[in-house]
Structures are given as C-alpha cells and as structure tokens.
Amino acid sequence: MVSLATVRAHNASLKSLGSGLVAVFVGGTSGIGLYTVREFARYTVSPTVYLVGRNEAQAKQVIQELSLINPHGKFQFIRTDASLLRGVDSACEVIQKKESRINLLFLSCGIFTMKGRDETCEGLDKKFSLHYYARMRFINNLIPQLTQAASNKKSENALSRVITVLGAGHETKIDLNNLDLKTNYNLNSCDVHVTTMSSLMVEELASRYPSTTFIHTYPGIVKSGISREAGPIVSRLVRAVMFLGRPWMVAEQECGERHLYVATSGPFPSGSLARGQSNIDVPENRRGAYLLSWDGAEVGNRKLLDEYHASGVGRKVWEHTEDMFQMALKKR
C-alpha cells in the first residue's frame, strides 16, 4: 500500500514536470475521471485538458470549476457518444488536429445497467463497448501522440501514460470461443470479460509500445454516478448499497489523488525505462504494464494471466479486438 502522505507529497511536486502537459480524460465529467482531473488541474502548470463525454451542460460546470482551480489551464469539452467507435474516432480526430503529443490518456467511461445484451448500431454491446472496446480504440488512435510525448527532449515533459479504471485484480477465466459474448451474455460474464481482457491488453500494449506506461486499476468502492442511466429503482438500490458500504468507501478526493499519483509517479516506468532499472523485478514481457488496486498496491491473478500469456491468449485477445474494430467500422 502506498500511504496517502506519500501520494500527496508526490502530487505536490508535480510542478517539476514543467508546464504544458496534455491530458485526455474520457469520462472526466463525473465520478473517478472528475475526481482525478480536479487533482490534475490543481497540481500541474498550465495544462491542456480534453474532457470527452456526452453531457455538455455538466461539462460546462466542470470546466468552470477547473478554470477556478487552475486559471492558466486550457480545458476543452468534446461531445461524443463513446459507446460507438465512430464517436471515439471523431473525438480523436478533434484532438489529433490540435495536439502532436499526449502525456496522459485517462479512461473511466462506463455504465451500470441491469439490461441484457444491448447492441449498438455497430453490433457491440453498449456496456462491453464503454468498458473495453471504446477504451482500446482510444488507445489505438492516440498511440502516435502518446509515443511522441515520450520522445520529448525535455525529460521533465516526457510523461506518457495510459490509465484504464475498471477491475484489476479480479481476473477470472473467460470464454475464449466467445470473447465478445455474442451469445450467453449476462452482466457477470460481461464484467469478467472486460476485466480479464483489459489486464491482458495492457500487458500486450506495453510489450508493443515500450515508451508508454499502461496501467489497469481497481478504484475500490467509490461514489461515481455510474448508475445514473440504470433507472430509478436500480439507482436507489445502488445508493442504498453505497450508504451501507460507507465504512469501506474511498473518499472522492483521495480517489482522485491516488489516481493522479499512479498517472504521474516514478514507481511505474514504461518498458523502455524499466530496462535500465535493476530493482524492477518483473519479466521483460510485462515491463511497463501495471495492475494496481485502489491503494497503489500491485494486484492481478498472475497464475491465470501467466497461463493465458503462455498459451497465446494475450495475442488472441489483441487480434480479436482488432477484428471487432473492423466489424464495427463496416456497419457505419
């Protein structure tokens, strides 16, 4: 566990990274993304921040708040439906026209729903897409800008990191013959697939793009507003569970502080930087990828993940993800 004092001391030193960091927060207008972007604005110098989401009215309020926290920052909202890959692509095009480099891509978009499989017009389940496919599409599209950030000659501005907030440490076996759950879909199987596939993919990504750090986190129990689209009955039920779980909940500000820490701190170097550090005791093929709990401790079902990597499942998930991109694009 990383102490909160350590987290806060690091965050307070972030001005040493210099000015002009560029960050993209997908899902940054509420919940964990909002808590983190607040801390990012608080501790960085003249940052440029893109908030990607659907709620323009809420985004305006967030931007007003961020501008008060950091009057020298640039904050822009990009309205899109991230459950659609075409929505992801359009948002990325806006960013790419303006930025040659991106230091941080923070992915926390998602929904809580009691529906069964709910396909978008692109043939992907909406929950599965928001929690996995759309996030991987953002990474796929913006990797040139992330790579460019890592090559910055100003070493203090060479931060290049991707965070996907979901369920690290809760990996279990998945149906390798039905990765997209086209059949036999239920909410539990969806959660299992997006979690395990995310952990496999951050490790695949780190091996392919060694100049960028890839992190999958589990945020703990946090008030996030994720049930806002689930209907009044489910929303009330979620609020009741949250009330009963208060003793174990991570406070909003602490959640943001801890995610800012893992998004910017030295203990999580990219694969290329980790090669020069003798104290990094992980296999070469996993360097630059981190599965972290809410408190910064490393987690992950290593027995299962190592078995999967050894049998080529990581590559299979990678290829499946690419295939699903192509399938969705053909339905435009």
Mean pLDDT of 32-36: 97
Q: Which residue has the higher pLDDT, 266 or 47?
A: 47
pLDDT at 153: 65
Distance CA 306, CA 298 (A): 15
Half-sphere exposure of 58 (CA within 13 A, CB side): 13
Residues 6+ apart with CB under 8 A from 84: 120, 121, 122, 129, 134
Residues 6+ apart with CB under 8 A from 217: 163, 164, 165, 166, 168, 259, 262, 291, 292, 293, 294
Phi/psi at 212 (nearest 5 deg)? -115, 140
pLDDT at 236: 56
**pLDDT per residue as tens digits for the range 177-198:** 999 999 999 999 999 999 999 9
pLDDT at 256: 98
Predicted confidence (pLDDT) at residue 290 exceeds the cutoff of 60: yes
Predicted confidence (pLDDT) at residue 145 exceeds the cutoff of 80: yes
Distance CA 292, CA 273 (A): 19
Q: Which residue has the higher pLDDT, 154 or 102?
A: 102
Predicted confidence (pLDDT) at residue 332 exceeds the cutoff of 90: no
> Which is it for the CA torsion 77, 132, 112, 257, positive or negative?
negative
pLDDT at 302: 95
Closest CA to 52 of 155, 141, 168, 174: 141
Superfamily of domain 4-330: NAD(P)-binding Rossmann-like Domain (3.40.50.720)
Confidence of residue 63 (pLDDT cuts 50, 70, 90): very high
Q: Where are the domains of the chain?
A: 4-330
For residue 165, what are the β-bridge partners?
217
Question: What is the percent of the chain with per-residue pLDDT over 90, rounded to a whole number?
Answer: 79
**pLDDT per residue as tens digits for the range 214-257:** 999 999 988 765 545 555 555 555 555 555 556 557 899 999 99
267 burial type by CB count under 10 A (0-12 exposed, 13-18 middle, 19+ buried): middle
Distance CA 7, CA 239 (A): 29
Question: What is the percent of the chain with per-residue pLDDT over 70, rounded to a whole number?
Answer: 88
Q: Which residue has the higher pLDDT, 229 or 71?
A: 71
Residues shown for the chain: 332
Predicted confidence (pLDDT) at residue 296 exceeds the cutoff of 90: yes
Q: What is the value of pTM for the model shown? A: 0.93
151 burial type by CB count under 10 A (0-12 exposed, 13-18 middle, 19+ buried): exposed
Rg (the chain; Cα; Å):
19
Distance CA 123, CA 328 (A): 6
Predicted confidence (pLDDT) at residue 55 exceeds the cutoff of 90: yes
Q: Give the E-state strand segments of the chain in sequence order.
A: 22-26, 48-53, 74-79, 104-107, 161-165, 213-217, 289-292
Mean pLDDT of 295-316: 96
pLDDT at 246: 60
